[in-house]
Amino acid sequence: MAERLQKFLARAGIASRRKAEEYIAQGRVQVDGRPVAQMGLTIDPERQQVTFDGQPVLPPSRKLTVLLNKPAGYVTTMADPQGRPIVTSLINEPGLRLFPVGRLDLDTEGALLLTNDGELAQNILHPSRQINRTYHATVKGRPNREALQQLRRGIMLEGRRTWPARIRELRRNQESTTLEVIIHEGRKRQVRKMFAAINHPVLQLKRVAYGGLRLGSLPTGRYRRLSPEDLQLLFRPGNK
């Protein structure tokens, strides 16, 4: 059955549909041996051969999504020119090519989804879904009520106002404060930039939940396969 090339790449687990479009524009995708650099091409996967970076692309035999407790020091890309460890090296699912859904900074730990279901990834990342991300952030010093209210109201970052964050204090000592922070935006290094803006830089950051799906007691560096019920939790608001 004919389908758009970017949809086929997403369904085959190469990346989300949006990222697949970037790969096409970069000339990394070939159809029947010829590079494709324009959007909208329709293909018949049963009759045409598609390759990505020279490797054949086949439809997945089964869809799989996992929740990984990402360690600090791992990058959330499929490869790294600097030779740093990549999160996919922690996944052992022979015959399946899983890719990260979104990203976590190098130094940030915690909940990261990986999947070979491009349509699901697109659904999770689409801004209209507004899926909550819950973090535990340990910041320098002791932010006062007014500083935190700025983040709760939304602040200007790089020319755009952030959506209001939900914040509650978990614990504090003389040197630092640990807070639960809930946002639904996915801007790069957003939590770190928010606290830097109120002069309380982040010392440690861990994502503990997507929507109603929590990391729980999953050990660092380990992952678990997600059931259909788990996937439904992704789209629930979580901490109300």
- With residues binned 3-state (H G I as helix, E B as strand, rest as coil), the percentages for the chain, rounded to 5, are 25, 30, 45
pLDDT per residue rounded down to tens, the chain (240 residues): 788 998 888 888 788 888 889 899 999 999 999 988 778 899 988 788 899 988 888 776 678 999 999 999 999 988 888 999 999 999 998 778 899 998 899 999 999 999 988 888 888 888 788 899 999 999 999 999 999 999 999 999 999 999 999 999 999 999 999 999 999 988 889 999 999 999 999 999 999 999 999 999 999 999 999 998 999 999 887 654
170: in domain: yes
| CATH number, residue 221 | 3.30.70.580
Say whether both 204 and 138 belong to one domain: yes
- Token digits for 30? 């070939």
Say whether both 183 and 152 belong to one domain: yes
Q: What SS3 class is residue 42?
A: strand
Question: Which residues belong to the active site?
Answer: 105
Say whether both 37 and 70 belong to one domain: no
Say whether both 152 and 113 belong to one domain: no
140: in domain: yes
| CATH number, residue 144 | 3.30.70.1560
Q: Please report the pLDDT score of residue 63 as a whole number.
A: 85
183: in domain: yes
What gap in Å lies between CA 14 and CA 29, rounded to an integer? 11
**Residue pair 93/116 in contact by the 8 Å Cβ criterion:** no
112: in domain: yes
**Residue pair 221/89 in contact by the 8 Å Cβ criterion:** no
239: in domain: no
Say whether both 74 and 114 belong to one domain: yes
Look at the chain and report how many structural domains it folds into.
3
Give me the half-sphere count of Cα atoms (radius 13 Å) on the Cβ side of residue 111.
20
Q: Please report the pLDDT score of residue 239 as a whole number.
A: 52
Range of the domain at 188: 132-210
**Residue pair 13/20 in contact by the 8 Å Cβ criterion:** no
What gap in Å lies between CA 76 and CA 103, rounded to an integer? 5
| CATH number, residue 24 | 3.10.290.10
- Token digits for 99? 């890719």
Q: Please report the pLDDT score of residue 206 as a whole number.
A: 98
Q: Please report the pLDDT score of residue 178 as a whole number.
A: 98
Say whether both 108 and 90 belong to one domain: yes
